[in-house]
């Protein structure tokens, strides 16, 4: 088995760009887009607003969840709230990545903590999660393809990072 440690083992909280004590609606200038899903479980009040709907246990639950999160994405865009829209996009992406993790690995566990974090065998996961992942993938890509969002994201990254 491959031996590479997961990145969370060396996580440097003090230097992480996203902070749990910032209200990112009140201080949007503090928000960075970052890579992938960074900050998604930290940035308030969006974490609380969006996270309560984030579910991927089954395909039908993922469909309901992704529809609700996508509706929030559209509402944030309508309000010209880029941070909210980007956070909703991140939850859609995370729905895909987490569901895929559970589809690939039994119990969603990728590393064997008891064996120096060896990579566990792939293909032992839940088939239902693969269908849930596909639902989130479609919505995530739909969000990224939104012209207004893409324009706002490009401008935000240019101005703020």
pLDDT tens track for 5-63: 666 666 677 778 889 999 999 999 999 999 889 999 999 999 999 999 999 999 999 99
Number of Cβ atoms within 10 Å of the Cβ of 130: 15
112 phi and psi, to 5 degrees? -95, 100
- For residue 147, how many C-alpha atoms fall within 13 Å in the half-sphere facing its CB? 0
Domain boundaries, the chain: 40-155
Residue 132 has pLDDT above 90, yes or no: yes
* 3-state SS record for 38-90: CCCCCCECHHHHHHCCCCCCCHHHHHHHHHHHHHHHHHHHHCCCHHHHHHHHH
pTM confidence score = 0.87
Contact predicate 124/102, CB 8 Å: no
Which of the four pLDDT bands, split at 50, 70 and 90, describes residue 3? low
Please give the pLDDT value at position 115.
76
| Residue whose entry in the numeric block shows the structure tokens 């930290």 | 42
User: What SS3 state is found at 19?
Assistant: coil
| Spatial separation of the C-alpha atoms in residues 37 and 143, rounded to whole Å | 14
User: Which residues touch 36 (CB under 8 Å, ≥6 apart)?
Assistant: 90, 93, 97
- State how far the alpha carbon of 50 is from the alpha carbons of 11, 53, 95, 108, 117, in Å: 24, 6, 12, 22, 32
pLDDT > 90 fraction of the chain, expressed in percent and rounded: 68
What are 87-130's pLDDT values in tens digits?
999 999 999 999 998 888 877 777 767 777 776 677 766 788 99
Q: Residue 145 corresponds to which tokens in the numbers above?
A: 């393809």
């Amino acid at each position: 088995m491959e031996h590479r440690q997961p990145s969370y083992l060396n996580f440097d909280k003090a230097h992480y760009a996203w902070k749990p004590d910032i209200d990112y609606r009140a201080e949007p200038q503090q928000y960075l887009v970052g890579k992938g899903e960074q900050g998604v479980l930290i940035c308030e009040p969006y974490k609380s607003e969006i996270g309560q709907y984030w579910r991927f246990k089954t395909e039908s639950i993922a469909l309901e969840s992704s529809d609700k999160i996508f509706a929030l994405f559209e509402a944030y865009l309508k309000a010209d709230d880029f941070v909210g829209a980007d956070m909703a996009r991140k939850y859609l992406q995370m729905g895909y990545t987490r569901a895929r993790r559970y589809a690939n690995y039994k119990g969603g566990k990728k590393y064997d903590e008891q064996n120096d974090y060896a990579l566990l065998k792939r293909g032992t996961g839940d088939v239902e999660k693969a269908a849930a992942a596909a639902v989130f993938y479609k919505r995530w890509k739909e969000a990224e393809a939104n012209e207004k969002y893409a324009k706002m994201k490009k401008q935000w990254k240019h101005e703020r990072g």
